[in-house]
Chains A and B, each alone.
Chain A
């Protein structure tokens, strides 16, 4: 699609939408948001870029293959669940760090798990969109 407005807009929309998606991911534990919707918003950012600039440019902007994102996401999620095994708690028991400065918020395994969800969703949607628009 050769739309000057779209391609100019996406240049600014991409970082903004990505920022929004990360914001959604991080606030998800206490306010509406989370890994799932964050991943979807992030994916739509790249999808918009893909429509405006073509799939090759979109691939370059992402830098890694979306399939790598899926694998990393799944591993992150699974690893966050395994952490509790090492302190003798059942699989996927949430562990929260208590001594992190307040401005960082709380850091715990469920948040890491949510990051895994985010990456998987991002990777899955982009795998589908990139393959579709390439074919």
Chain B
């Protein structure tokens, strides 16, 4: 299981190199990985449908409860199949769509890394690991949206998506940790049993709000929906994969996964149902107003995500089944429509539906796939979209607030019919237009995806019982955390939802026939562009830069002594302030232990220190400072710390070298500071020195009670096979700290490098920049 998830990352590492070898066929070659994973996951269908699920776990940080554990149940299996199945088609499609693009290999690398992150997200059983994969999908999505990185629009869209979902991710982390603290475990499969504990805990509402914030941002719920249409700057395969079929459903997945832990309360329903319903309506409304084919699809995706959130909020057994069926139907038809839209814009050079028409005769195979998918999206029988819509109607009509929700559903269905006409009919029929590029039937990679997805939607629409016990029932059972019996059928007998569907078809067709006029009339009333959440984001972003500029101007004076002063004052304040009021035992009684050579060395260090301060020439000061450092290192040696002494010697030599390198360039000045400045600097310096002296004396007095040193000395050889305790602590016992330290070192080096190289060279050679 670990390998199944990690294989995508491994493939991502080698993808650019493999692509260079088999440029023409790389799409088909890379598709072998997702299809192999798809086959691998189909094996789980049987066991999962009959039993609880399959768990496999690897320890990562067991002391913190963080394990790389995977849990295949109905819900994660459904997602894993979608991710790998649609992933296969998307990879094949990308091979054709980006054929000849110079960075196609890197694109595959991002895409496969995304697939692996998404698989990890839905399969993991551990909350922290879920968060890690969650952020990885945001990161890979950033690279994929901004793939066309030479366009500013693509870059800012990528950043917008990253910031919005990243903000939600942080809230999610906080929520998950709180939940884990109360439940006593970070494993979802164990948290399921402490649902009541969490639901009746005083922190339940903050937890729910934080997790919902994560889910809402990821799944583009109002008012965070605006990043999704912007993300349409991404290439078509990315929009298909991330922004309709998989990543945006991660929020839905999370809410579904946590339904047994957090769901079934008044607040849960009061939060999810209204937000979902509003999102559903907003998306449907905005979809009708736009003419860019990908944006239209993005808005209907928002609407569909809203519908799923609403259904999870309702939370009845039928609503959860409806959510699962609709999720599947939507993934199939929306995936097909996005791929179709990509093929159309690739062939014609335009994405504006008002400029499209008559393409059926040029690209019949794409058109057929697109039309079938559009029919499914409009909810026309016998497609899966119809089955999904009917069960949603039934779920909504069981509710007490059914009038409002039914009305919203009805309006949304009308919009879906209009969109199906605009997207699936209008580009292909009617008069053939003039296009920027001459359209022709694209190759196999382009049309096989839409055709397969749309065909699958049709097949399972006619025989929905194929899904019942294998996919839908286990998924619904995982969401409800109890066995569920599911009955899906194309024909459920007469229900008033059938009448609503018929009315929606008629009204939708009517609006479609008047679509151009309708759009013009309504668009003039549309204030969402001026005052909508996308503008809030802009204001927030510019507000942050203003505040950043102000704080930078006040704090970053550029004077080193100012920075040092702040650091030293903070240390004095924090350590001195918290330690000095207490009684500190000072180890002053051991003067007799001082040996002659130690005393001599102390005098030398002191003399050198005075020389540093009094020196007229900088080079004298640097050398004296070196003497102080070597003296301290000698002390380490006297007190049997050879490792420390050696490091200190090396550091001192290097610092002297560095300072000489810098001083070499500075002008000779007699006095660098005035007497008043020297007094100002002397005060914190003396205070700091005094504080350190007190600390050292205290530590000396306390050292007899220390327990750490004997522990390390005792365990160093038997446990870590090393005789040098200091080194064993660094690389083994406290290895994680060292890992952090070398990371910080690297970041510091990058900082120095960019400051010196990029900043200064940019200043010195402005003509090179132009």
On A, residues with C-beta under 8 Å from B are 24, 28-37, 40-41, 43-44, 47-48, 51, 66-67, 70, 73-74, 77-78, 81, 85, 88-92, 94, 96, 106, 108, 110-111, 113-114, 116-117, 120-121, 123-125, 127-129, 131-135
Contact = CB atoms under 8 A, between A and B. Distances in A.
B444 interface: no
A31 B727 CA distance: 9
Interface stretch (B339-347, B536-544, B739-747): B739-747
Contacts of B739: 77-78, 81, 92
A29 B723 contact: yes
A44 B736 contact: no
Contacts of A135: 756-757, 760
Contacts of A51: 657, 660-661
B738 A33 contact: no
Contact of B752 (A32, A81, A117, A128): A128
Contact of A33 (B58, B651, B662, B727): B727
A92 B735 contact: yes
B610 interface: no
Nearest to B646: A37
A131 B759 CA distance: 12
B745 A120 contact: yes
Contact of A125 (B654, B732, B756): B654
A28 B728 CA distance: 9
B756 A29 contact: no
A34 B642 CA distance: 11
Given A117-B738, A132-B661, A90 B731 contact: no
B753 A131 contact: yes
A81 B742 CA distance: 14
Interface string B751-770: 01100110010000000000
Contacts of A127: 749-750, 752-753
Contacts of A30: 722-724
B355 interface: no
Interface residues of B, number: 48
B14 interface: no
Contacts of A108: 721
B751 to A, nearest CB: 10
B720 interface: yes
A42 to B, nearest CB: 10
Given A117-B738, A129-B661, A135-B756, 15 more contacts: A30-B723, A34-B727, A40-B654, A41-B650, A74-B743, A77-B739, A78-B739, A88-B58, A91-B60, A117-B730, A121-B742, A123-B746, A127-B749, A128-B658, A132-B658
Given A120-B746, A132-B662, A44 B654 contact: yes
A48 B651 CA distance: 14
A91 B657 contact: no
B760 A33 contact: no
Given A73-B742, A81-B739, A43 B654 contact: yes
A47 to B, nearest CB: 5
B61 A90 contact: yes
A129 B657 contact: yes
A41 B643 CA distance: 13
Contacts of B662: 132
Interface in B273-309: none
B22 interface: no
A73 B8 CA distance: 24
Given A73-B742, A77-B742, A29 B727 contact: yes
Given A73-B742, A90-B59, A120-B745, A81 B724 contact: no
Contacts, number: 151
Q: Which of B653, B654, B661, B749 has the most CB of A within 10 A?
A: B749
Contacts of A85: 2, 58, 60, 68
Nearest to B730: A34
Contacts of A96: 721
B748 interface: yes
Contacts of A94: 720-721, 732
**B contact face: mostly helix, strand, loop, or mixed:** helix
Contact of A32 (B646, B730, B750, B753): B646
17 contacts: A29-B728, A34-B731, A40-B654, A44-B650, A44-B653, A48-B657, A51-B657, A74-B746, A85-B60, A88-B58, A110-B732, A113-B731, A114-B727, A124-B746, A125-B654, A127-B753, A135-B757
A131 B650 contact: no
Interface in B120-171: none
A120 B742 contact: yes
A117 B741 CA distance: 9
A124 B749 contact: yes
B62 interface: yes
Given A34-B731, A91-B61, A131 B723 contact: no
A75 to B, nearest CB: 11
A34 B726 contact: yes
B647 interface: yes
A34 B729 CA distance: 11
| A-B residue pairs, 9 tightest by C-beta | A40-B650, A32-B642, A30-B723, A124-B749, A131-B756, A120-B742, A34-B727, A110-B731, A29-B722
Contact of B654 (A31, A47, A90): A47
Contacts of B732: 94, 110
Interface in B640-683: 642-643, 646-647, 650-651, 653-654, 657-658, 660-662
Contact of B647 (A36, A90, A113): A36
Contacts of B723: 29-31
A8 B292 CA distance: 71
Contact of A70 (B721, B728, B749): B749
Contacts of A111: 731
B646 to A, nearest CB: 5
Contacts of A44: 650, 653-654, 657
